[in-house]
Amino acid sequence: MRVAVLQMNSGTEPGPNLDQLERLATEAAGRGATYLLSPEVSVVFAENRDGLRAVAGPWEDNPAIARVAATARRLGVNLHLGSLAVALPDGRFANRAVLFRPDGSIAATYDKIHLFDATLPGLRHYRESETYAGGIEAVVTDAPGFALGMTICYDVRFPRLHRALAEAGAEVISVPAAFTVPTGEAHWEVLLRARAIETGSWVIAAAQAGRHQNGRSTWGHSMIVDPWGKVVAELDGDGPGIAIADVDLKAVGEARGKVPALDNARPFSVTVTGSGAPVAAREDVSA
């Protein structure tokens, strides 16, 4: 199975972004890729919530979804839209990934589970949950040729999700993202390789890259990582492009055979002690 990551520099209006996605997808398909992954917020990378509300529509009769479906159908590929914002009745949005089959029908969707809510040093409170509603269901689906576990961006920091996907049969894990430059430089490759190594899975990561219309800069460096943790394809961080690799599923069995961490995991309890009398906090958790 030949796969491709489509690295984008999405702006604040859907039309040019969808043009960019279609150009990259056409190039990747022309080079033999049959599974294509675009980044998080491929359709709109808005400046703020008001900007997002102005252009992001509901799920039903969504023109962006219709256009990406048409692109998948024209190219005859499995086209995985890394994510788009879908308007919800409560005024928030779902950060939703959509996998299209070669006939343009939808094979699966996934709503980003983990939302970034933090107080950043020297900056205002950042609450992704004020704009987005977190998903509640992990997804493994058939992307013909392999079992695909779906994640989005910040999910990559949560190993338990990736373990659950691998235990449910995922051989490949997708990570569409829009990492900032500081966190991307420090953590992006390390996290992707760690998720590949600990699950014995291929990791396919498509990222936003460069300076955007909304004023943000993203790290890029879209990459494909094999189950042993080797980076087999990578882009730089300057802007749009594609990277392609051939996925050999035998590598999944070989990696999991050499290091059977999924099989060897055991439940255990945790005891917390402090000053004075011990405080027992016992919980069965996954290794």
Q: So which residues are the catalytic ones?
A: 40, 112, 153
Sign (positive/negative) of CA torsion 52, 40, 145, 257? Answer: negative
